[in-house]
């Protein structure tokens, strides 16, 4: 009797403690709306830096376009708006812009007169476009994982490693809630993740870039210690100490390099595997892998099946390859000791 | 309604008539064949190229017998009007086609001649000539995303087979 009442008392105390802990940790929706609000505020502030319309001259380079001069607005016109002045083909097929030799996301406003090339997947050297596409697919995977789990479980997105295209799959490192440590995803769950990704692709959301000072980025990720560390790392690597944030829909993320213009560019997308790596500082590190092909380079189903089978295997990334090299001789380099 | 038959029905005769008569035809073909042996790729009318093809291949068959052969030397000196091509035939063309049993020439159509006659033109060449190919092979861009993925796949498979073997 005494034990029963004691048990009940303990139960109630633990339940209230758990509830208090859950209440202290903000819900996923709240976190998302807070990040969104900070992002929108910073975006509006950066746009307000150009109150009057100033004109810049953009000279286009490319097949059939050499020397075309476009007069655009400073701080407002993006490479996509330049493409809109050309043809629908350029709008649909351009993946990335090369502004004065620098890779530039399609939705980032131009700040100076420059010479610009629009990159597609079918150029003679589409390496940059491929890398940007791989990064964007990994970012999409991260977004899907963040929103896929129920509110009771926390999802901590770790940095997406830069993987070369020849390794067969893009990866997104994630640390799930400790309650899910023993959970291994079944085929059904992978398929539902794929469906989530396909929904995002169908919505055709643009990836809006924003270059911010590290302090703003730290404010955006104020609820996540892991992300703040990543912000500091990226700020240290950048020559000007700025950090680029991207927003897709209502999900704000951090990325190492330029991303593609919009989600609708992917056509075949599948989440292939979720491997468990070692125990790290944020919990059990897991690597989600996927395979995707763009709208312009669709594969026959036989080819797709073979590539997908390969994408299920774990892709090992050595910490030494920071900036993605063009193509290593060995597709799976031996893992370095961490 | 047409009540008379056209006069140019061959009634099954396949041999072509060229020039002023059979001797003229052979002389014309000899000249064209000499040009072919000298330049290894020539442009003529389709009919002439087609006729020369048979003689070009027969000449190579004779050349394969070697220049010590009496008959081969007589054939070569008859068919090649420019005698400096006789050594070329025996020392260059015959060794080139040692492994081939037949099919030493290639013929491809060209756009019709620009003159008033608008004749059907063709280009005739000996295989293995030093010029760029008549049908250029268009290679896929190795650096596209799908080709890079397939390359990784192929390397992976090769690695697996190597470790299995």
Q: What confidence category does residue B104 fall into, taking pLDDT thresholds of 50, 70 and 90?
A: very high
> In angstroms, how far is CA A178 from the centroid of its own chain?
24
Contact residues on chain B for A129, CB-CB shorter than 8 A? 145
Contact residues on chain B for A121, CB-CB shorter than 8 A? 144-145
Q: Decide if A72 contacts A53 (C-beta within 8 A).
A: no
pLDDT at res. B5: 66
Contact residues on chain A for B155, CB-CB shorter than 8 A? 166, 330-331
* Average pLDDT of span B143-155: 93
**Nearest chain A residue to B152, by CA:** A166
* Longest Cα–Cα distance in chain B: 81
Q: How far is CA B73 from CA A27, A184, A314, B64, in A?
A: 97, 82, 70, 11
For an interface test with A, which of B138, B140, B145 has the most A Cβ atoms less than 10 Å from its Cβ? B145
Residue A88, C-beta contacts closer than 8 angstroms, at least 6 positions apart: none
**What is the rounded end-to-end Cα distance, in angstroms, of chain B?**
78
pLDDT at res. A3: 60
pLDDT at res. A24: 57
* Average pLDDT of span B86-98: 95
A294 touches B at CB < 8 Å = yes
**Nearest chain B residue to A306, by CA:** B153
Mean of the per-residue pLDDT values of chain B: 93
pLDDT at res. A327: 37
> How many other C-beta atoms lie within 10 A of the C-beta of residue B59?
24
pLDDT at res. A277: 86
What is the ipTM, given to two decimal places?
A: 0.80
pLDDT at res. B60: 96
Nearest chain B CA: its distance from A48 CA (Å) = 39
pLDDT at res. A10: 56
The per-residue pLDDT for range A34-62, each reduced to its tens digit, is: 999 999 999 999 999 999 999 999 999 98
Contact residues on chain A for B145, CB-CB shorter than 8 A? 121, 126, 129-130, 133, 165, 293-294, 297
Query: Using the beta-carbon criterion (under 8 Å), do A297 and B145 form an inter-chain contact?
Result: yes
Nearest chain A CA: its distance from B133 CA (Å) = 22
pLDDT at res. A289: 92
Query: Using the beta-carbon criterion (under 8 Å), do A168 and B150 form an inter-chain contact?
Result: no
- Provide, rounded to the nearest whole percent, the portion of chain B with pLDDT above 70: 96
pLDDT tens for chain A, residues 1 to 338: 556 665 565 555 555 555 545 445 678 888 889 999 999 999 999 999 999 999 999 999 988 888 889 999 998 999 999 999 999 999 999 999 999 989 999 999 999 999 999 999 998 899 999 999 999 999 999 999 988 888 888 888 888 888 999 998 999 998 888 888 888 889 999 999 999 999 999 999 999 999 999 998 898 888 888 888 888 888 888 888 888 999 998 899 888 889 998 999 999 999 998 988 888 888 888 899 999 999 999 999 999 999 999 999 988 887 554 443 333 333 444 443 43
pLDDT at res. A185: 87
pLDDT at res. A315: 86
pLDDT at res. B108: 97
pLDDT at res. A2: 59
* Average pLDDT of span B74-85: 96
DSSP string, A124-183: S--HHHHHHHHHHHHHHHHHHHHHHS-TTS-EEE-PPP---GGGSSEEEEEEE-GGGTT-
For residue A42, what is the enclosing H or E element? helix A28-47
Query: Using the beta-carbon criterion (under 8 Å), do B143 and A127 form an inter-chain contact?
Result: yes
pLDDT at res. A330: 38
């Amino acid at each position: 009797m005494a034990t029963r009442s004691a048990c009940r008392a303990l139960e109630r105390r633990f339940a209230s403690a758990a509830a208090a802990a859950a209440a202290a940790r903000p819900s996923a929706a709240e976190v998302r709306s807070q990040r969104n609000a900070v992002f929108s505020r910073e975006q509006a502030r950066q746009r307000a830096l150009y109150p009057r319309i100033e004109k810049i001259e953009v000279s286009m380079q490319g097949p059939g376009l050499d020397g075309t001069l476009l007069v655009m607005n400073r701080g407002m016109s993006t490479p996509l708006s330049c493409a809109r002045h050309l043809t629908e083909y350029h709008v649909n097929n351009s993946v990335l812009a090369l502004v004065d030799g620098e890779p530039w996301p399609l939705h980032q406003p131009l700040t100076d007169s420059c010479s610009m090339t629009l990159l597609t997947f079918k150029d003679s050297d589409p390496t940059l476009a491929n890398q940007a596409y791989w990064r964007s697919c990994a970012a999409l995977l991260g977004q899907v994982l963040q929103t896929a789990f129920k509110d009771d479980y926390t999802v901590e997105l770790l940095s997406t490693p830069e993987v070369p295209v020849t390794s067969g799959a893009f990866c997104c490192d994630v640390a799930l809630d400790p309650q899910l440590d023993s959970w291994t995803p079944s085929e059904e769950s992978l398929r539902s993740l794929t469906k989530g990704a396909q929904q995002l692709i169908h919505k055709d959301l643009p990836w809006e870039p924003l270059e911010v000072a590290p302090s703003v980025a730290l404010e955006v990720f104020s609820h996540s210690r892991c992300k703040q560390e990543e912000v500091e790392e990226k700020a240290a690597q950048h020559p000007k100490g700025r950090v680029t944030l991207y927003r897709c829909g209502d999900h704000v993320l951090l990325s190492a390099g330029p991303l593609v213009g919009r989600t609708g560019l992917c056509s075949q997308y599948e989440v292939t595997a979720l491997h468990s790596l070692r125990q790290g500082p944020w919990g059990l590190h897991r690597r989600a892998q996927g395979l995707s092909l763009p709208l312009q380079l669709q594969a026959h189903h036989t080819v797709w099946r073979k590539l997908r089978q390969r994408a299920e295997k774990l892709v090992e990334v050595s910490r030494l390859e920071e900036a993605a090299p063009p193509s290593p001789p060995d597709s799976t380099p031996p893992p370095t000791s961490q | 309604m047409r009540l008379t038959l056209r006069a140019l029905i061959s009634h099954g005769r396949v041999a072509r008539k060229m020039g002023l008569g059979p001797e003229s035809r052979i002389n014309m073909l000899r000249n064209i064949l000499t040009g072919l042996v000298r330049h290894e790729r020539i442009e003529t009318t389709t009919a002439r190229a087609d006729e020369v093809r048979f003689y070009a291949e027969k000449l190579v068959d004779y050349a394969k017998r070697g220049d010590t052969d009496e008959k081969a030397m007589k054939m070569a000196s008859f068919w090649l009007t420019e005698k400096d091509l006789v050594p070329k035939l025996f020392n260059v063309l015959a060794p080139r086609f040692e492994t081939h049993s037949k099919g030493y020439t290639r013929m491809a159509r060209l756009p019709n001649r620009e003159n008033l006659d608008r004749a059907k033109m063709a280009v005739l060449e000996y295989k293995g000539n030093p010029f760029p190919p008549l049908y250029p092979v268009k290679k896929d861009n190795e650096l596209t995303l799908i080709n890079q993925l397939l390359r990784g796949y192929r390397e992976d498979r090769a690695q697996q087979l190597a470790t299995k073997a």
